[in-house]
């Protein structure tokens, strides 16, 4: 009997080739997309899961409230003495690990290469699960002169994996120093929020600073530069420890400081580190949870659409099976046998499609990095979750798809099955409803995609207040002793190169930090504490020279720029931006002198007594995630800061030649330093890499879902056209034009798509608005994305349906009637 059913099922698949192909491959493709997307979402959610101690590792977080505007600020940066005090005062802490990120110059083949590094306490290797291939985790970092590198770093620098005992020459500051490789770590898994290639003992972070800085870094409670990670003892619990923090803060920072800033400390479990929207950290990577949720939903929508395709095609195919089932009934098949046959058939086709989908996903998984722009290892087949959910899907899909026809058809008596055979031309209401849902979803996604695209274009094209185009940033190691001299010399010499319009030396390190998970370029990163409540909890400032405004194309609103004559000005001149003037509520800013010297505190703000000589237009020195802030420009020579970057504005023609001239100039001035040049506009764009990347993923996934929906529509319209072929023949014989036939067939489907369009805008509007609230600068939602979204989908759907209608309309009516 089973063989008989199988035979019938297979022969039916063969008979209705197009729609079997569509329902099978549609489900397979849908499942394949869904599996890959879900695997990626699972990858995103699997961050830091591999640590065996993951449940006892926490990061210390701090929260302050700006007394001026009540803005809440989150930070993971802490001062060094605090770590020592924490460890001494709280016995429940098993171990405390200081981590900070930085960069260092590594000597390779006579040149220094800048590499990102991490300074960590020795317990880092034993508390986190970063196993060593060679070396001992317990002792590898206990010697200050040791370094632990990853397998791939070892291959890069030594051409072999086991490099234990080798020496590496590293310049943390001015003088190069030799470190001995004491351990080779396995490459860090892609789903680790802490990424590293080089680990140095934490002491090096402090000892690499200048003598004066060393004292501040190691002694000051007010200068934060490290992240504090804590593992708790087994019997300790997070809440109890957190409850002790307020007393700890008062003990060490004093009552008034804590109260004024409303400081609160907390412990963030390792599992929450990756999806932290509030805490931007230089040590860990992070991502927006919303995106993976969106992607997960899209994956489910794709699966739903593919499932609906499968259902609607299977259901409409069953209307042509009435005859066969009628015969079976006259021969003596009872109701449950008919049910079993239908359910069994659907089960077989469904499992076939699902196996196909899994195979497809397995084949495509290695290429998924192209879409996600992340190196990840998706091991599909070994994942039990996949198999369980696929099994669940098989059962659910089979039941949903087959139960309705099984119950409906098996309940009819044979005579009505014979007579219903020819009247089964209309699309059942259930299927109509499913199509409306399908297209409602597809249009919602499409609208969302348009909104996202609009927002990203808005951000990328927004007037930043400076012009990043044609500006290059040449890196200079600010730790060099004569960095300012080198910078100024290079800057002056570079101006002689044809194609260079203007140059400027600034203290800011204009680097692409996106690989550290930070979205700032690094402009105006110096943050100075202040007691002026109008300015909140700090004043960002940048040390620049007189050509800065010209090079960056920033407009001076009133007052004067810094003087171009070097060393001839008093050291109290500052230039502020308009936001600063507004915050201070000055009517006439020029000549104002800042007073930043509170009576009750034992310290003086660094901007106390500074005189405003000019006001510049606001410019976005931070990314557009942050609103504009008051800021200050100082002359670099007056603040004892070394330059971090030389900015150069180039003319747009013959750029490659100019750049190669800049490089040879660099090599003649600072031969030992690697020449690193980055385009400002690229850096600006890279701040939004994560948005651009996600937008791409979501756009492509949405397209896939729309194509799948149309795939189903195609199959269904083919089926309907085939059913109505006799009707079309008769109509043509009696004078219907091609146009009449087209309208006849397409009308119903187009109506359904329009119904789908009607339900999508409220949903799309709500979701888009939710997403946009994350931006400080955003587009206004207007009707356009909705119109575009609806029209795009309608157009694709119309093309799909008319394909079949045209085919039906052009067929020779005589032939159709004869075939019938």
Residues that bind another protein (CB under 8 A): 1, 4, 7-8, 11-12, 15, 323-324, 326-335, 337, 413-415, 418
| Residue 637: HSE in the Cβ half-sphere, 13 Å Cα cutoff | 15
Smallest separation (angstroms) from another protein to the CB of 327: 5
Q: Cβ closer to another protein: 4 or 652?
A: 4
| DSSP structure class, residue 604 | -
Smallest separation (angstroms) from another protein to the CB of 326: 7
Q: Cβ closer to another protein: 13 or 24?
A: 13
Q: Cβ closer to another protein: 1 or 733?
A: 1
Distance CA 770, CA 391 (A): 34
Smallest separation (angstroms) from another protein to the CB of 3: 9
| Residue 115: HSE in the Cβ half-sphere, 13 Å Cα cutoff | 25
Smallest separation (angstroms) from another protein to the CB of 805: 27
Please state at what angle helix 17-45 crosses helix 384-411, rounded to 10 degrees.
Answer: 140
Q: Cβ closer to another protein: 166 or 324?
A: 324
Q: Cβ closer to another protein: 340 or 510?
A: 340
Distance CA 178, CA 345 (A): 72
Q: Which residues pair with 112 in a beta bridge?
A: 107
Distance CA 441, CA 760 (A): 7
Please state at what angle helix 335-364 crosses helix 17-45, rounded to 10 degrees.
Answer: 60
Smallest separation (angstroms) from another protein to the CB of 1: 5
Smallest separation (angstroms) from another protein to the CB of 8: 5
Task: Evaluate whether 609 touches 594 at the Cβ level (below 8 Å).
Answer: yes
Name the maximum alpha-carbon separation found in the chain: 110
Q: Cβ closer to another protein: 12 or 152?
A: 12
Task: Evaluate whether 271 touches 284 at the Cβ level (below 8 Å).
Answer: no
Smallest separation (angstroms) from another protein to the CB of 331: 5
Distance CA 513, CA 280 (A): 12
Distance CA 427, CA 436 (A): 13
Smallest separation (angstroms) from another protein to the CB of 393: 28
Question: How many of the other CB atoms lie within 10 Å of CB of 627?
Answer: 11
Record the tokens describing residue 630, joined without a space.
């008051």
Smallest separation (angstroms) from another protein to the CB of 335: 6
Q: Cβ closer to another protein: 7 or 462?
A: 7
Task: Evaluate whether 206 touches 125 at the Cβ level (below 8 Å).
Answer: no
Q: Cβ closer to another protein: 326 or 440?
A: 326
Distance CA 717, CA 726 (A): 15
Please state at what angle helix 738-772 crosses helix 725-733, rounded to 10 degrees.
Answer: 130
Question: How many of the other CB atoms lie within 10 Å of CB of 409?
Answer: 22
Q: Cβ closer to another protein: 3 or 496?
A: 3
Strand locations in 270-397 (E): none
Q: Cβ closer to another protein: 8 or 290?
A: 8
Record the tokens describing residue 120, joined without a space.
């960590």
Distance CA 586, CA 304 (A): 60
Distance CA 703, CA 304 (A): 15
Q: How far apart are the first and last CA of the chain?
A: 31
DSSP string, 772-811: HTT-SS-PPP-HHHHHHHHHHHHHHHHHHHHHHHHHHHHS
Smallest separation (angstroms) from another protein to the CB of 416: 9
Q: Cβ closer to another protein: 334 or 385?
A: 334
Smallest separation (angstroms) from another protein to the CB of 330: 5
Classify 380 as helix, strand or coil.
coil
Classify 160 as helix, strand or coil.
coil
Q: Cβ closer to another protein: 257 or 418?
A: 418
Question: How many of the other CB atoms lie within 10 Å of CB of 411?
Answer: 11
Q: Cβ closer to another protein: 3 or 739?
A: 3
Distances, alpha carbon 517 to alpha carbons 126, 343, 640, 775, in Å: 24, 51, 30, 18
Q: Cβ closer to another protein: 341 or 804?
A: 341
Q: Cβ closer to another protein: 1 or 84?
A: 1
Distance CA 439, CA 711 (A): 12
State the Cα torsion 367-116-627-226 to the nearest 10°: 130
Smallest separation (angstroms) from another protein to the CB of 324: 5
Q: Cβ closer to another protein: 377 or 820?
A: 820
* C-alpha 461: how far from chain center: 20
Distance CA 435, CA 316 (A): 13
Classify 501 as helix, strand or coil.
strand
Smallest separation (angstroms) from another protein to the CB of 418: 7
Distance CA 268, CA 232 (A): 12
DSSP3 helix / strand / coil % (the chain, rounded to 5): 50, 15, 30
List of residues 6+ apart from 68 with CB closer than 8 A: 533, 534, 535, 536, 583
Distances, alpha carbon 805 to alpha carbons 632, 718, 730, 739, 801, in Å: 68, 8, 15, 10, 6
Smallest separation (angstroms) from another protein to the CB of 792: 41
Distance CA 309, CA 23 (A): 6
Smallest separation (angstroms) from another protein to the CB of 401: 20
Smallest separation (angstroms) from another protein to the CB of 419: 11
Q: Cβ closer to another protein: 7 or 244?
A: 7
Q: Cβ closer to another protein: 72 or 334?
A: 334
Smallest separation (angstroms) from another protein to the CB of 716: 22
Smallest separation (angstroms) from another protein to the CB of 819: 11
């Amino acid at each position: 009997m089973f063989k008989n059913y199988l035979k019938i099922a297979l022969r039916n698949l063969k008979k209705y080739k197009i729609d079997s192909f569509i329902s099978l491959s549609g489900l397979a493709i849908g499942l394949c997309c869904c599996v890959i997307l879900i695997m990626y979402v699972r990858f995103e959610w699997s961050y830091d899961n591999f640590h065996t101690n993951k449940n006892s590792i926490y990061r210390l977080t701090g929260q302050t409230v700006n007394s001026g505007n009540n803005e809440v600020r989150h930070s993971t940066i802490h001062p060094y003495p605090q770590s020592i005090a924490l460890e001494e005062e709280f016995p429940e802490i098993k171990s405390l690990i200081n981590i900070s990120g930085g960069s260092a110059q590594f000597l390779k083949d006579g040149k220094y290469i800048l590499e990102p590094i991490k300074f960590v306490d020795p317990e880092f290797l034993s508390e986190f699960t970063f196993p060593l291939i060679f070396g001992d985790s317990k002792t590898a970092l206990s010697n200050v002169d040791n370094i632990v590198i990853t397998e791939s770093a070892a291959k890069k620098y030594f051409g072999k994996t086991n490099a234990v005992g080798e020496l590496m020459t590293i310049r943390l500051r001015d003088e190069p120093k030799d470190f001995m490789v004491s351990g080779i770590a396995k490459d860090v898994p892609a789903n680790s929020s802490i990424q590293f290639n080089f680990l140095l003992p934490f002491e090096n972070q402090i000892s690499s600073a200048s003598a004066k800085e060393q004292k501040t870094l190691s002694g000051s409670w007010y200068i934060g530069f490290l992240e504090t990670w804590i593992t708790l003892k087994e019997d300790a619990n997070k809440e109890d420890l957190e409850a002790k923090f307020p007393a700890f803060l008062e003990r060490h920072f004093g009552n008034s400081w804590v109260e004024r800033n409303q400081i609160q400390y907390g412990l963030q479990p390792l599992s929450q580190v990756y999806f932290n929207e509030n805490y931007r950290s230089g040590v860990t990577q992070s991502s927006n949870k919303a995106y993976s949720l969106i992607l997960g939903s899209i994956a489910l929508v794709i699966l739903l659409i593919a499932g609906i395709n499968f259902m609607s095609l299977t259901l409409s195919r069953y209307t042509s099976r009435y005859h066969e089932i009628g015969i079976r009934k006259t021969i003596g098949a009872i109701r449950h046998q008919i049910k079993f046959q239908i359910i069994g058939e659907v089960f077989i086709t469904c499992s076939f499609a699902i196996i196909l989908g899994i195979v497809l996903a397995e084949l495509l998984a290695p290429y998924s990095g192209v879409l996600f722009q992340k190196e990840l290892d998706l091991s599909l087949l070994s994942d039990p979750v996949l198999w369980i959910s696929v099994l669940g899907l098989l059962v659910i899909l089979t039941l949903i798809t087959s139960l309705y026809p099984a119950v409906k058809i098996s309940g009819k008596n044979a005579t009505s099955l014979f007579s219903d055979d020819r009247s089964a031309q209309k699309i059942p209401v259930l299927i109509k409803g499913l199509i409306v849902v399908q297209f409602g979803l597809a249009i919602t996604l499409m609208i969302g995609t348009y909104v996202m695209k609009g927002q990203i274009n808005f951000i990328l094209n927004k007037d930043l207040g400076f012009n990043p185009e044609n500006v290059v940033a040449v890196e200079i190691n600010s730790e060099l002793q004569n960095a300012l001299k080198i910078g100024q010399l290079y800057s002056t010499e570079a101006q002689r190169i044809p194609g260079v319009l203007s140059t400027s030396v600034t203290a800011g390190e204009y680097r692409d930090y996106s690989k550290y998970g930070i979205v700032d370029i690094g402009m105006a990163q110096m943050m100075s504490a202040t007691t002026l409540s109008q300015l909140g909890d700090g004043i960002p400032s940048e040390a620049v020279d007189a050509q800065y405004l010209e090079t960056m194309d920033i407009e001076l609103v009133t007052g004067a720029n810094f003087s171009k004559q070097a060393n001839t000005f008093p050291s109290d001149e500052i230039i502020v931006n308009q936001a600063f003037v507004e915050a201070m509520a000055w009517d006439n800013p020029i000549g104002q002198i800042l007073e930043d010297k509170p009576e009750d505190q034992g310290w003086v703000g660094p901007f106390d007594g500074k005189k405003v000589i000019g006001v510049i237009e606001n410019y976005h020195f931070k990314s557009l995630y942050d609103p504009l802030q008051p800021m200050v420009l100082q002359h670099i020579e007056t603040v004892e800061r070394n330059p971090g970057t030389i900015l150069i504005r180039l003319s747009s023609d013959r750029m490659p030649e100019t750049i190669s001239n800049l490089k040879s100039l660099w090599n003649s001035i600072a031969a030992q330093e690697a020449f690193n040049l980055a385009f400002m506009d690229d850096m600006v764009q890279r701040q939004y890499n994560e948005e651009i990347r996600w937008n791409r993923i979501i756009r492509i996934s949405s397209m896939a879902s729309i194509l799948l929906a149309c795939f189903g529509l195609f199959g269904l319209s083919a089926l309907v056209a085939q059913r109505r072929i006799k009707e079309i023949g008769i109509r043509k014989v009696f004078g219907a034009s091609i146009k009449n036939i087209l309208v006849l067939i397409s009308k119903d489907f187009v109506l359904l798509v329009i119904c789908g369009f009607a339900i999508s805008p409220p949903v799309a509007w709500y979701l888009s608005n939710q997403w946009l609230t994350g931006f400080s600068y955003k587009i206004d939602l207007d009707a356009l994305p909705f119109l575009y979204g609806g029209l795009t989908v309608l157009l694709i759907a119309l093309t799909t349906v008319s394909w079949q209608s045209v085919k039906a309309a052009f067929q020779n009516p005589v032939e159709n009637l004869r075939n019938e």
